[in-house]
Amino acid sequence: MSDPALTEAAIEGSAPPRLRDALRASLRGDRYDYTTGPVGRAVLLLAVPMVLEMAMESVFAVCDIFFVGRLGASAVATVGLTESLLSIVYTLAMGVAIAATAIVARRIGERDEIGAGKAAGQSLLIGLAVAIVLGVIGVTFAPRLLAMMGAGGDILAVGSTYSRIMIGGSAVIIFLFLINAIFRGAGDPAIAMRVLWLANGINILLGPCLIFGLGPFPKMGVTGAATATTIGRGIGALFALSRLVLGKGRIQAHLRDLTPDRELLARLLRLAASGTGQIIIGTASWIALVRITSLFGSDALAGYTIGIRILLFALLPSFGMSNAAATMVGQALGAGDPERAKQAAWTAGKYNLVALGAVAVIFVVFAHPLAWLFSNDPVVIGHAASCLRIVALGFPLYAFGMVFTQAFNGAGDTTTPTWLNFIVFWLWEIPLAWLLATVFHLGPEGVFVSIAVAFSTLAIASGVLFQRGKWATRRV
């Protein structure tokens, strides 16, 4: 688990005084009015803990598979298949989180703390309803769902309980996403960051103990991984909920805020539905690209898989910068200052450009060594390295595309990025990938080129639409 003291010590020795003070303030969670003052400082104060939060989220994605990999192929397959099923949970959680961030940020910008608390309470009601439905489905049908995904008898024997715990415990995932989104919208990203530190620390420490039976702990195998992850996330969610109920940040939810408000629930559900659709469209497009890549054999598919895993892992911290833009835009609009909202998005985009530009250079220069970490097959390494190099060329523009997408969401305009995702990824990227790969005989490299082109297209299109400013008239 990350240590704030160590983080601040690193900052102390490496940053200029003004920047150092801002970074330390952001890690401490100092209160700050994000609707006034220098925009660059405000974006930085929000972004640093959000980037660290997303870095912690990426650890969850690799921690289980790191330990479970010692248990054999069936255990690894169980984690992989269950994660595929959990993508539905993540998508629904992120959809509700988008809605909560937009409305909470707007109310905070309006100085309506009571309204922000009510929006938080109504979001929790939606999260609870979704969690109950998914939990019942997970506990009841987990083995059948695994079988539908192609799990054989060996996987079902090892992994049925793992899947029951992970899917049946969907509530901890949903509330972790949702409450952290509420804090981000309120301008309390340091709380969300600490929640992920806590949840990850417990998972990392408890995971090997329950998987391998270290010390007094029982040896549970792959089931131990599910137990540790669910306990870690559960404690993190309870800690976050306690901060929200006790009002330890800029927002507080009271018992009265859980009384259903039909109008507010309808508004949240409308935003959540559009946000969920936006994520589904983007996620499903990757499946289509996998299908095209599979035409060129298992080596190409393995290279694609390794390359995309590395790329998505590298992109996670940039979502932190994008989330900062969403909060800034929502709060600025609430304060009646659309020009500040626009300036905040462009500033966050420039910061993200620096970060992703540096990552792109690393991928271009060190593509082969990075791919070698995941495979010793020279053909697979070649495809993975090509994926990293080619897709990374789209990173500089995509830095702005990521920020603008979240800026629209923060403004409560979830419709625009939904349509952009559909047009760019389904009507442009996928047909282009097929044409380049098969008609123009570029093979897997044609798929990689289409991804870079789509990233760049999304950035340009979203930038043009963002400049038009219609998002600033959205009422949430």
Task: Tell me how crowded residue 100 is: count the other CB atoms within 10 A of its CB.
Answer: 31
Residues above pLDDT 90, as percent of the chain: 66
Nearest C-alpha neighbor of 372 from the set 360, 381, 364: 381
Specify the pLDDT at position 60: 65
* Residues 272-289: tens digit of each pLDDT: 999 999 999 988 898 889
User: Does 382 have pLDDT greater than 70?
Assistant: yes
Nearest C-alpha neighbor of 188 from the set 46, 288, 17, 53: 46
User: At a CB cut-off of 8 Å and minimum separation 6, what does 162 contact?
Assistant: 78, 79, 82, 222, 223, 225, 226
Q: Report the range of poorest mean pLDDT among 63-67, 261-265, 441-445.
A: 63-67
User: At a CB cut-off of 8 Å and minimum separation 6, what does 290 contact?
Assistant: 301, 304, 305
User: Does 369 have pLDDT greater than 80?
Assistant: yes
The overall average pLDDT reported for the chain is 89
User: Does 305 have pLDDT greater than 70?
Assistant: yes
Question: Is 412 in contact with 106 (CB distance < 8 Å)?
Answer: yes
Nearest C-alpha neighbor of 454 from the set 362, 391, 360: 391
How many residues appear in the chain? 476
Question: Is 332 in contact with 348 (CB distance < 8 Å)?
Answer: no
Whole-number Å distance between alpha carbons of 181 and 102: 9
* SS3 annotation, 153-215: HHHHHHHHHHHHHHHHCHHHHHHHHHHHHHHHHHCCHHHHHHHHHHHHHHHHHHHHHHHHCCC
- Assign 219 to helix, strand or coil: coil
* Residues 204-214: tens digit of each pLDDT: 999 999 999 99
Task: Tell me how crowded residue 383 is: count the other CB atoms within 10 A of its CB.
Answer: 28
- For residue 19, name the pLDDT band (cuts at 50, 70, 90): low
Nearest C-alpha neighbor of 68 from the set 178, 198, 229: 229
Tokens of 200: 């990850």
User: Does 324 have pLDDT greater than 70?
Assistant: yes
| pTM for the predicted model, two decimal places | 0.89
User: Does 117 have pLDDT greater than 50?
Assistant: yes
Question: Is 253 in contact with 244 (CB distance < 8 Å)?
Answer: yes
Residue ranges per structural domain of the chain: 41-260, 281-476
Specify the pLDDT at position 2: 44
- Alpha-carbon torsion, ordered 283, 382, 390, 301, to 10 deg: -20
The dihedrals phi and psi of 339, each to the nearest 5 degrees, come to -65, -40
- For residue 12, name the pLDDT band (cuts at 50, 70, 90): very low
Considering 17-31, 46-60, 290-304, 322-336, the range whose residues carry the highest mean pLDDT is: 322-336
Rounded mean pLDDT, 392-403: 95
User: Does 33 have pLDDT greater than 70?
Assistant: yes
Nearest C-alpha neighbor of 318 from the set 8, 39, 58, 17: 58
Nearest C-alpha neighbor of 77 from the set 173, 162, 201: 162
Question: Is 185 in contact with 226 (CB distance < 8 Å)?
Answer: no
Question: Is 348 in contact with 328 (CB distance < 8 Å)?
Answer: yes
Residues above pLDDT 70, as percent of the chain: 94
Whole-number Å distance between alpha carbons of 319 and 314: 10
Question: Is 343 in contact with 305 (CB distance < 8 Å)?
Answer: no
Rounded mean pLDDT, 335-360: 95
User: Does 171 have pLDDT greater than 60?
Assistant: yes
User: Does 17 have pLDDT greater than 70?
Assistant: no
Specify the pLDDT at position 10: 47
Q: Report the range of poorest mean pLDDT among 53-67, 115-129, 134-148.
A: 53-67
Whole-number Å distance between alpha carbons of 376 and 371: 9
Task: Tell me how crowded residue 256 is: count the other CB atoms within 10 A of its CB.
Answer: 10
